[in-house]
């Protein structure tokens, strides 16, 4: 295996590579080379149906395909064509797969965990090349949700991808060799990560970052496509005004912040979702993330809108200057990010066509904006909301509801921080004007901390919250409210009329993104491990393929030699690390990441190995101290549970520390403080935890292990012993 600079790649013979320019895709330009995507070709995607050239297929990122060989009358005949098992080359955990592949001239470019990329023959799955970045496995500690990746860009013979540790890489589309590699992080001592897709915008490629919950400052950076040289950087929130402003928009933004804001915490606003680019207007559209900390009384004590948090920004990609902005939730306090996927299309409003931007962010409203000016054209809630009394269409601002302000007392607020729509991409059919949203209705109980102290490298945002069902002392707060959930569903929504057309219940877990096609189909993967085909005009389920692997990513479709394929990346990561909710496919099968590709008259999907039922070894003989147990529970929740989240409601891809064998206990201190398992992704925490802290965590875990062991022993001794209580 040859090595590329700072990354690993594997490639096949030159003869096979050369053949991909001639793969029988009817729409491939004569003599095209691998990765041959440019502006004219991208603008022609409506007539070049066979290709899937961006994460959302076209420049509008609609996730609509004009292909119709697979349709409502034959969808039940769809089966497996081939699969690619996605083994991570970094660490030992099966990380989630959350991206949508790109297909260009018969070659599929698929991004995986850490920023890896596989180039595959789109008809057989045979490997063309594989790229794996050199990332320190212990870097996973810096991320909220695992070292996942949500997309790549293919442009003029190059593949652009961001690595989890913040490098933007340009790869040769033919070989996988690195052409250039740039560091996009300002400060590597902070918990920045890179999980989103780059975006081509004119002659630059733009990348954002994640980490808002860990106390960082959001920004995007544009780089020259040819050389990787930095062109410009746009910060989404100001820094301390005493230090000056990096660009003029920040001086305007600073007027909406308290001069004594929590500048040391970065303030958030990270750009970790999908961007979009209009090549006709030459505008880059960016959705920004949540605040840090969440409560504005800790963040910006005197209030203010706090620009440009949870906003949609239109930026001139030549200069990096802001053209317009729309803030979805001024002074937001509920983690209502506007990083959900952005779609560009044309719809008829008041009798005339309007070029619009569509977004359904976490706050539960579906927005339709004029994409040239930012004018708000439509805003209607698609799920239950009570954080606002509605949107003032004259000003574009939400009307505050004091009942959702949790500064003085706990409040139950719709939607939860998971949002009415999270990152899983929605799709939009420009022919019918209908959007298909992986939606969620759920309330959250919010309680503010009396004081806030910034804790670098820890997801600590100044509040306490509870997911349903709420703790007993707060259960009465849900009385008289709509169903507090969680309830997930596939939703068909008319954004112009602002109304629901139909919904299909999905249960309470994290289901996948959507794809809509000219075959009158909506396709979605689910947390329970199926790929479902629905009739787009009615919601009727026509076919369900059992995968045995949960799906969070959005499906895609393409055609080669007259055969239509449907592909989806299956691998369940969970919203907060590798957490598998009760009832998800990972409760029954090992959650091994896979790329699955289907066609008409395909075969059965082989199921992963069955998940072993957890059993608890006899706990260590430790005299428990109640105070240490309580302290350890708090420390575990802050530092450990983001990964080791196994509970009575979740399994985890990480070891369940409540069920450690004797050897695990013996090495526990060395692993936690000294990084004894850093090669497997378990970072050292000696800079954050003391020996006394680790002792407290020992007491907490031992108490949990004792509880489980006693319950299982009692169940085993019962005449009609049932299932393990934890399952």
Which residues have a catalytic role annotated? 335
Q: Can you state the angle between helices 691-717 and 626-639, rounded to 10 degrees?
A: 100
List the one residue out of 726, 573, 576, 574 whose CA is nearest residue 656. 726
List the one residue out of 646, 654, 559, 603 whose CA is nearest residue 147. 654
Looking up tokens 């950076």 gives 221
DSSP track, 334-397? S-----SPPEEEEEEETTEEEEEEEE--TTSEEEEEETTT--EEEEEESS---SEEEE-TTT--
Residue 6, token pair as written in the block: 């700072």
When computed from its CA atoms, the radius of gyration of the chain, rounded to whole angstroms, is 25
CA distance 579 to 586: 9
> For residue 627, what are the contacts with CB-CB under 8 A and spacing of at least 6?
none
CA 47, 51, 54, 55 torsion: positive or negative?
Answer: positive
CA distance 217 to 238: 8
Residue 143, token pair as written in the block: 């991320």
CA 468, 474, 476, 478 torsion: positive or negative?
Answer: negative
H-type alpha helices, 220-373: 248-254, 296-299
User: CB of 597 within 8 A of CB of 567?
Assistant: yes
List the one residue out of 382, 376, 296, 286 whose CA is nearest residue 338. 286
- 3-class DSSP state of 245: coil
List the one residue out of 137, 195, 138 whose CA is nearest residue 164. 195
CA distance 151 to 165: 15
φ and ψ at residue 657, rounded to 5 degrees? -70, -10
Chain-centre distance of CA 488, in angstroms? 17
CA distance 179 to 176: 9
Largest CA distance in the chain: 76
φ and ψ at residue 645, rounded to 5 degrees? -95, 15
E strand or H helix that includes residue 18: helix 14-19
Q: Which residues pair with 435 in a beta bridge?
A: 428, 493
User: CB of 5 within 8 A of CB of 181?
Assistant: yes
User: CB of 636 within 8 A of CB of 696?
Assistant: no
CA distance 635 to 703: 14
Residue 447, token pair as written in the block: 């309680």
Looking up tokens 């799709």 gives 427
Distances 2 to 12, 90, 128, 174 between C-alpha atoms, Å: 11, 17, 14, 15
- 3-class DSSP state of 99: coil
């Amino acid at each position: 295996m040859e090595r590329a600079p700072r990354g690993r790649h594997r490639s096949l013979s030159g003869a096979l590579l050369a053949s991909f320019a001639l793969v029988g895709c009817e729409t491939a330009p004569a003599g095209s080379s691998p990765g041959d995507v440019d502006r004219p070709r991208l603008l022609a995607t409506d007539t070049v149906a066979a290709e899937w050239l961006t994460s959302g297929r076209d420049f509008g990122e609609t996730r609509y395909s004009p292909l119709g060989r697979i349709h409502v009358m034959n969808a039940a005949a769809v089966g497996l064509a081939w699969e690619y098992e996605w083994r991570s080359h970094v660490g030992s955990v099966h990380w989630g797969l959350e991206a949508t592949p790109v297909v260009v001239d018969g070659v599929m470019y698929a991004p995986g965990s850490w920023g890896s990329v596989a180039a595959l023959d789109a008809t057989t799955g045979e490997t063309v090349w594989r790229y794996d970045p050199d990332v320190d496995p212990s870097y996973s500690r810096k991320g909220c949700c695992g070292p996942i990746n949500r997309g790549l860009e293919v442009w003029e013979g190059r593949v652009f991808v961001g690595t989890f540790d913040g490098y933007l890489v340009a790869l040769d589309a033919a070989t996988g060799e690195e052409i250039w590699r740039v560091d996009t992080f300002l400060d590597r001592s902070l918990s920045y990560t890179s999980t989103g897709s780059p975006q081509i915008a004119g002659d630059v490629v733009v990348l954002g970052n994640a980490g808002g919950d860990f106390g960082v400052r959001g920004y995007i950076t544009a780089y020259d496509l040819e050389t990787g040289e930095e062109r410009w950087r746009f910060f989404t929130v100001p820094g301390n005004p005493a230090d000056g402003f990096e660009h003029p928009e920040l001086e305007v933004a600073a007027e909406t912040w308290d001069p004594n804001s929590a500048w040391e915490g970065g303030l958030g606003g990270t750009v970790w979702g999908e961007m979009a680019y209009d090549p006709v207007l030459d505008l880059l559209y960016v959705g920004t993330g949540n605040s840090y900390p969440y409560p504005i009384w800790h963040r910006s004590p005197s209030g203010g809108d706090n620009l440009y948090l949870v906003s949609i920004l239109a930026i001139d990609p030549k200069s990096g200057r802001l053209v317009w902005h729309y803030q979805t939730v001024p002074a937001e306090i509920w983690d209502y990010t506007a990083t959900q996927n952005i779609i560009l299309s044309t719809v008829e409003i008041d009798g005339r066509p309007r070029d619009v931007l569509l977004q359904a962010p976490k706050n539960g409203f579906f927005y339709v904006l004029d994409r040239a000016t930012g004018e708000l054209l439509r805003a209607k809630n698609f799920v239950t909301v009570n954080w606002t009394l509605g949107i003032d269409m004259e000003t574009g601002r939400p009307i505050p509801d004091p009942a959702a302000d949790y500064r003085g007392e706990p409040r139950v607020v719709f939607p939860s921080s998971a949002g009415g729509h999270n990152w899983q991409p929605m799709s939009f059919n420009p022919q019918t004007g209908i959007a298909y949203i992986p939606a969620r209705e759920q309330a959250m109980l919010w309680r503010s901390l009396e004081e806030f102290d910034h804790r670098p490298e820890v997801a600590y945002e100044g509040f306490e919250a509870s997911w349903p069902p709420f703790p007993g002392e707060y259960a009465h707060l849900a009385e008289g409210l709509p169903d507090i959930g969680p309830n997930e569903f596939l939703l068909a929504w008319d954004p112009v009329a602002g109304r629901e057309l139909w919904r299909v219940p999905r249960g309470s877990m994290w289901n996948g993104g959507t794809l809509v096609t000219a075959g009158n189909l909506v396709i979605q993967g689910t947390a329970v491990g199926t790929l479902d085909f629905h009739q787009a005009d009615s919601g009727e389920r026509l076919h369900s393929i059992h995968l045995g692997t949960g799906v969070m990513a959005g499906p895609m479709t393409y055609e080669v030699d007259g055969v239509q394929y449907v592909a989806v990346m299956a691998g369940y990561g969970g919203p907060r690390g590798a957490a598998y909710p009760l009832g998800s496919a990972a409760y029954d099968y090992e959650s091994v990441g896979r790329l699955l590709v289907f066609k008409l008259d395909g075969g059965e999907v082989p199921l992963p190995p069955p998940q072993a039922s957890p059993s608890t070894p006899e706990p260590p003989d430790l005299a428990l101290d109640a105070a240490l147990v309580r302290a350890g529970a708090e420390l575990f929740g802050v530092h450990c549970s983001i990964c080791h989240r196994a509970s009575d409601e979740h399994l985890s891809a990480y070891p369940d520390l409540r069920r450690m064998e004797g050897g695990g206990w013996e090495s526990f201190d060395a692993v936690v403080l000294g990084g004894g398992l850093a090669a497997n992704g378990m970072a050292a925490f000696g800079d954050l935890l003391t020996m006394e802290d680790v002792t407290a965590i020992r007491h907490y875990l031992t108490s949990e292990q004792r509880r489980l062991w006693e319950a299982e022993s009692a169940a085993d001794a019962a005449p009609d012993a049932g299932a393990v209580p934890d399952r």
